[in-house]
Amino acid sequence: MISDTENTTIIGSGPAGLTAGIYLARAGLRPVIIAGNLPGGQLVNSDMIENYPGFDVINGADLMAKMLSQAEACDVRIVYDAAINVSKADDLFITDLVSGDKIISRSVVVATGARHRLLGVPGEAEFTNKGVSWCATCDGPMYRGKLVAVIGGGNTAAMEASFLANFASTVYLIHRRGSLRADKVMQDRLFFKHNIKYMWDSEVAEIIGSNRVEAIKVTNNITGAEALYDVNGIFIAIGTTPSSDCVGSLVSLDSGGYIKSDNTKTTCAGIFVAGDVASGSLKQAIYAAGQGALASKYVEEYLDGL
């Protein structure tokens, strides 16, 4: 057992979780944040953020480091562990951690975000961290002068391809549709990069190599034709899956597994949700932070009513 009964357990340390923690700490409720092994959520992998108020441009890891520092200065308690299950006994919530510890609290804020979606093709698991990556910011510099492929058509894929174009000799951008879904400003930047090659209406069928990635087999969705392309690395950016498993038995989920809520209030009294794990989230850092602040308000109201 980590502690006696707490006011609030916040699961997740991205923009939503840290903002909720800061607001609740300032209200004198001294919350506990379960931060995982590496705080900051997926935003730490973002190379360049241009739409967060107060910063013209800021690196995602730098932004999250500032948020974490502010939370610690507000006396938020940070636990570097991961939640595996939340259960309820009477009016209390028991959060089981990977370490075997438990945290008992009167309320819970779920800000667990979402995890990367997999391609589900042969070679993906075998070559993970051996040429298969989900983070261009982390691994991009390893591919200076080499051939890489980015899979996806949204903003994340566009950002990954743009970043990798600064290092790689050629970036293949492979999308299953005939046009990108990325914002126009992101697309405009891509089209100025001379070393990005587009494969429309195409999908990766197999990742091939010996000790590391050496090639990919690509299928054209219209013609059915298959072709092999030599690549040294493949970056997957096809979306995310919500990390709602730890509370899935207590709250209602939508068809995609995201947590349903009304102004951050879930269907289980005392459990609140904020950030990318919430149904309908815009999956933007500022939106997640705003939801964290809103969740803190309703946590206060809930605790006052106990």
pTM of the model: 0.79
Q: How confident is the model at residue 147 (pLDDT cuts 50, 70, 90)?
A: very high
> Which residue, 197, 213, 28, 238, is CA-closest to 123?
213
Interval 221-237: pLDDT, tens: 999 999 999 999 999 99
Rounded average pLDDT over 113-125: 93
Determine contact, residues 119/236, Cβ cutoff 8 Å. yes
Q: What is the pLDDT of residues 83-97, one digit of tens each?
A: 999 999 999 999 999
Span 168-214, pLDDT tens digits: 999 999 999 999 999 999 999 898 999 999 999 999 999 999 999 99
Residues 61-85, mean pLDDT to the nearest whole number? 96
The CATH classification number of 6-115+240-304 equals: 3.50.50.60
Confidence class of residue 220 from pLDDT cuts 50, 70 and 90? very high
Name the residue ranges covered by the structural domains of the chain. Answer: 6-115+240-304, 132-236
Q: In this model, does residue 36 exceed pLDDT 50?
A: yes
Mean pLDDT computed over 47-63: 86
For the chain, what is the HEC assignment? CCCCCEEEEEECCCHHHHHHHHHHHHCCCCCEEECCCCCCHHHHHCCCECCCCCCCCECHHHHHHHHHHHHHHCCCEEECCCEEEEEEECCEEEEEECCCCEEEEEEEEECCCEEECCCCCCCCCCCECCCEECCHHHHHHHHCCCEEEEECCCHHHHHHHHHHCCCCCEEEEECCCCCCCCCHHHHHHHCCCCCEEEECCEEEEEEEECCCEEEEEEEECCCCCEEEEECCEEEECCCEEECCHHHCCCCCECCCCCECCECCECCCCCEEECCCCECCCCCCHHHHHHHHHHHHHHHHHHHHCC
Band of residue 3 on the pLDDT scale cut at 50, 70, 90: low
Reported as a pLDDT band with limits 50, 70 and 90, residue 138 is confident
Closest by alpha carbon to 150, among 108, 115, 193? 193
The rounded Cα 230 to chain-centroid distance in angstroms is: 29
- Mean pLDDT (whole number) for 40-45: 82
Instruction: Grade residue 1 by pLDDT with cuts at 50, 70 and 90.
Output: very low
Q: When comparing pLDDT for 4 and 181, which is higher?
A: 181
Q: Do domains 6-115+240-304 and 132-236 have the same CATH topology?
A: yes
Per residue in 121-135, pLDDT (tens digit) is 999 999 998 999 988
Q: Does domain 132-236 have CATH number 3.30.70.270?
A: no
Tell me the catalytic residues. 135, 138-139
